Structure 1
Amino acid sequence: MRRWFPSLILSAALWVMWLVLNGSASPGHLILGGVIGLAVPVLVAPLKPAAGRLRKPLVLARLILVVGHDVVQSALDVGHGILRSRRQPPRGSFVDIPLELRDPFGLAALAMITTVVPGTVWSELAPDSSTLRLHVFDLAGEAEFIEHYKRRYERPLKEIFG
């Protein structure tokens, strides 16, 4: 049953969305919307990743607080850097960070964290996931930044996702 109808809620939502977007509940639209609603979840089911295992929820809670703090602090730092940029231009630079984290869910979380924190941009991930290249808005010291990044983000994610 699950093979032919992987997500009845998604099927129903697609069917309703089809009817609303077309503004018609004619028999043709009812049938076509139903076919689309049933076919799309079956066709995209192989693309759905397997569920990841979440270990150590307390580490996750602490990581969320750390990221929240870092977002605020980094936003203030970037704002301050922009305001003083005429006197002292920011030292933007690319940094290569060696990674120990290999779990795809952990890497996805790391990418989201990097995207959310102002002043850092995820630029490239090595094909074997061994090295991450970031662009940092104002880099004081590369070694210190790498240690900071690994300690605050990568290590907790490694604990959470194994």
Structure 2
Amino acid sequence: MKRLFPAPLFSVALAVLWLVLNLSISPGNVLLAILFGVLAPLLMAPLRPLPVRIRKPGTILKLFVLVGRDVLVSNVQVGWTVWNAKRRPPRSAFVKVPLDLRDANGLAALSMITTVVPGTVWSELALDRSVLLMHVFDLDDEARFIEHFKTAYERPLMEIFQ
């Protein structure tokens, strides 16, 4: 049964969504909703991530608070830099951050954190997952930035996922 319906709630949600978006419960739409609800999860099953094993759930709260603080501080810093761009233009740079984190779920969380924090953009991940290329909007000290990134984000994620 699990092979035919790898994600039963997803199947039901897709079928209902199809009917709602079409504003019709005609036999043809019901048939298409059922086909879509059954076939889409089957075709997407290989794309589903591995099951998550969280090792230290208490670290999640600490990381959440730290990321929230960094988001607020970075918003102010980026705003101030943009406001004063004529006096001192931002020193944008690409930074290669060596990674110790290898877990796919941890890397996905790290990419989301990088996306949420203003002034940083996840640009590229090496095929062997050993180096992350990031764009930083205003970089003062590359070594200090790398140390902060690894200490604040990578190490807690390693505690949680590895």
Superposition TM-score tier, normalisation by shorter sequence: over 0.9
Cα distance between partner residues in 1 of 2:151 and 2:159: 11
Q: Which moved more, 1:25-34 or 1:110-119?
A: 25-34
Runs of 4+ aligned residues of structure 1 deviating over 6 Å after TM superposition are: none
Partners in 2 of 1:117 and 1:135 — Cα distance? Answer: 12
Alpha-carbon distance between aligned partners in 1 of 2:28 and 2:135, rounded to the nearest angstrom: 53
By how many angstroms is 1:83 displaced?
A: 1.1
- What residue is the counterpart of 1:40 in the other structure? 40
What residue in structure 2 maps to residue 161 of structure 1?
161
Q: How does 1:9-158 map to 2 (within 5 A)?
A: 9-158=9-158
**Which string of whole-angstrom CA distances, capped at 9 and with x for unpartnered residues, describes residues 40-66 of structure 1?**
222222221221111111111100000
Superposition TM-score, scaled by structure 2 size: 0.94
User: 1:117 offset after TM fit, Å?
Assistant: 0.3
Give per-residue Cα distances to partners, 1:75-106, cap 9 Å, x unaligned.
Answer: 00011111111111111111111111111111
For the residues of structure 1 that align with 2:37 and 2:50, how far apart are their CA atoms?
Answer: 22
Q: Secondary structure at the match of 1:50?
A: coil
In the alignment, the residues of structure 2 paired with residue 86 and residue 32 of structure 1 have an alpha-carbon distance, to the nearest angstrom, of 58
Give the RMSD, CA atoms, in angstroms. Answer: 1.2
**Separation (CA, whole Å) in 1 of partners of 2:122 and 2:36:** 37
Question: How many residues are matched?
Answer: 162
Which range moved further: 53-62 or 11-20?
A: 11-20
Read off the aligned partner of 2:144 and give its amino acid letter.
Answer: E
Deviates more, 1:131-140 or 1:1-10: 1-10
Displacement after TM superposition at 1:8 (Å):
2.4
